[in-house]
Chains A and B, each alone.
Chain A
Amino acid sequence: MSLRANNIFGGRPALSFNDLPIDQSDAFTSQRSDIQLETTKYLADRTLSNNAFDVIVVGGGVAGLSTAMQLAMRGTRVLVLEREKIGNGSTGRAAGLLGQLRGTVEHTRMLMEGLKVVHRLEQEADLKIFVQTGSLRIAETPARAEEIRSLVRMGKSIDFQIDHISREEVASKLPYMKTDDLVDACYCPTDGHLQPAELVQAYMKVGRSNGVVYRSDCPVQGIALGDPGPHTVSTHDGEYQAPVLVNSTGPWSYGVAGLVGATLPTAALGNYYLTTHPDPDHPVDTMSPAIRDRHHRIYSRPENGGLIVGMYEAEPVEYNTETLPVDFDMSAMKPARDDFNVALLIHSAQQRFRWINERTPMSITTGIMTFTPDGKPFCGTMPDAAGLFHCAGFCGHGIVQSPAIGLIMSQLILDGESSFDIAAIEADRFFDLDGYSDRSEIKKRCYDMYASYYGSTEGTSGTNKN
Chain B
Amino acid sequence: MRILVPCKRVPDADQRIPILSDGSEIDRSNLSYLVNPFDAIAVEEALRIREVTGDVEVIAVSVGPLECEKELRTCMAMGADRGILVDFHAPLDPWNVASALVEIVKRELPDLVLMGKQAVDDDANQTGQFLAARLGWPQATFASQIDFNGQSVQVARETDAGIETVTVQLPAVVTADLRLNEPRYASLPSIMKARKKPIETLAFEDLGVSVEPRVEVIKVEAATSNRKCVIVPSTEELIRRLRDEAKVL
Which A residues have a C-beta under 8 Å from some C-beta of B? 24-26, 28, 35, 38-39, 41-42, 325, 327, 329, 332, 334, 336-340, 342-344, 346-347, 357-359, 361, 364
Chain B CB count within 10 A is highest, among A28, A337, A359, for A337
Contact between A337 and B40, CB atoms less than 8 A apart: yes
Contact between B14 and A347, CB atoms less than 8 A apart: no
Give the contact-size bracket for chain B: 20 to 34
Q: How far is the CA of A353 from the CA of B182 in the complex (A)?
A: 20
Q: How far is the CA of A338 from the CA of B15 in the complex (A)?
A: 19
Q: How far is the CA of A25 from the CA of B231 in the complex (A)?
A: 8
CB contact under 8 A between A42 and B194, given known A329-B15, A346-B187: no
Contact between A334 and B187, CB atoms less than 8 A apart: no
Chain A CB count within 10 A is highest, among B32, B185, B194, B229, for B185
Contact between B187 and A358, CB atoms less than 8 A apart: yes
* Interchain residue pairs with CB less than 8 A apart (28): A28-B231, A39-B229, A41-B229, A42-B229, A327-B16, A329-B16, A332-B15, A332-B16, A334-B15, A334-B32, A336-B34, A336-B35, A336-B74, A337-B34, A337-B40, A337-B183, A337-B184, A338-B78, A338-B194, A339-B186, A343-B185, A343-B186, A346-B185, A346-B187, A346-B188, A358-B185, A358-B190, A361-B182
Contact between A358 and B186, CB atoms less than 8 A apart: yes
In the complex, what residue of chain B is closest to A274 when comparing beta carbons? B185
Which of B12, B188, B231 interacts with A343 by CB under 8 Å?
Answer: B188
Q: How far is the CA of A106 from the CA of B186 in the complex (A)?
A: 43
Check if B173 is an interface residue, CB within 8 A of chain A. no
Given contacts A336-B34, A337-B184, 12 further A-B contacts (CB under 8 A): A42-B229, A42-B231, A327-B16, A337-B74, A337-B78, A338-B73, A338-B194, A344-B188, A346-B187, A358-B184, A358-B186, A358-B187
CB contact under 8 A between A337 and B231, given known A343-B185, A359-B184: no
Check if B146 is an interface residue, CB within 8 A of chain A. no
Residues on B with beta carbons closer than 8 Å to the beta carbon of A361: 182
Contact between B229 and A357, CB atoms less than 8 A apart: no
Contact between A338 and B74, CB atoms less than 8 A apart: yes
In the complex, what residue of chain A is closest to B227 when comparing beta carbons? A38
Q: How far is the CA of A329 from the CA of B231 in the complex (A)?
A: 26
Determine how close the nearest CB of chain B comes to the CB of A367; give it in whole angstroms: 14
Which of A24, A41, A332, A338 interacts with B186 by CB under 8 Å?
Answer: A338
In chain B, residues 172-189, which have Cβ atoms closer than 8 Å to a Cβ of chain A? 182-188
Q: How far is the CA of A329 from the CA of B30 in the complex (A)?
A: 12
Q: How far is the CA of A361 from the CA of B181 in the complex (A)?
A: 10
Residues on B with beta carbons closer than 8 Å to the beta carbon of A39: 229, 231
CB contact under 8 A between A325 and B30, given known A332-B16, A336-B74: yes
How many inter-chain contacts with C-beta < 8 Å in the A-B complex? 73
CB contact under 8 A between A337 and B77, given known A343-B188, A343-B191, A346-B187: yes
Check if B233 is an interface residue, CB within 8 A of chain A. yes
| Contact mask for chain B residues 12-41; partner A; CB cutoff 8 A; 1 contact, 0 none | 101110000000000000101011000010
Determine how close the nearest CB of chain B comes to the CB of A462; give it in whole angstroms: 27
Q: How far is the CA of A337 from the CA of B40 in the complex (A)?
A: 9
In the complex, what residue of chain B is closest to A35 when comparing beta carbons? B229
Q: Is the interface of B mostly helix, strand, loop or mixed?
A: loop
Residues on A with beta carbons closer than 8 Å to the beta carbon of B190: 358
Residues on B with beta carbons closer than 8 Å to the beta carbon of A41: 229
Determine how close the nearest CB of chain B comes to the CB of A25; give it in whole angstroms: 4
Contact between B77 and A338, CB atoms less than 8 A apart: yes
Q: How far is the CA of A38 from the CA of B231 in the complex (A)?
A: 10
Contact between A24 and B184, CB atoms less than 8 A apart: no
Q: How far is the CA of A414 from the CA of B78 in the complex (A)?
A: 56
Determine how close the nearest CB of chain B comes to the CB of A197; give it in whole angstroms: 16
Residues on A with beta carbons closer than 8 Å to the beta carbon of B70: 336
CB contact under 8 A between A24 and B233, given known A334-B32, A337-B183: yes
Q: How far is the CA of A70 from the CA of B184 in the complex (A)?
A: 45
Q: How far is the CA of A42 from the CA of B230 in the complex (A)?
A: 8
Which of B78, B187, B191 interacts with A357 by CB under 8 Å?
Answer: B187
Contact between A340 and B14, CB atoms less than 8 A apart: no
In the complex, what residue of chain A is closest to B232 when comparing beta carbons? A25
In the complex, what residue of chain A is closest to B234 when comparing beta carbons? A25
Residues on B with beta carbons closer than 8 Å to the beta carbon of A364: 185
Residues on A with beta carbons closer than 8 Å to the beta carbon of B34: 334, 336-337
Q: How far is the CA of A325 from the CA of B77 in the complex (A)?
A: 30
Residues on A with beta carbons closer than 8 Å to the beta carbon of B191: 338, 340, 343
Contact between B30 and A26, CB atoms less than 8 A apart: no
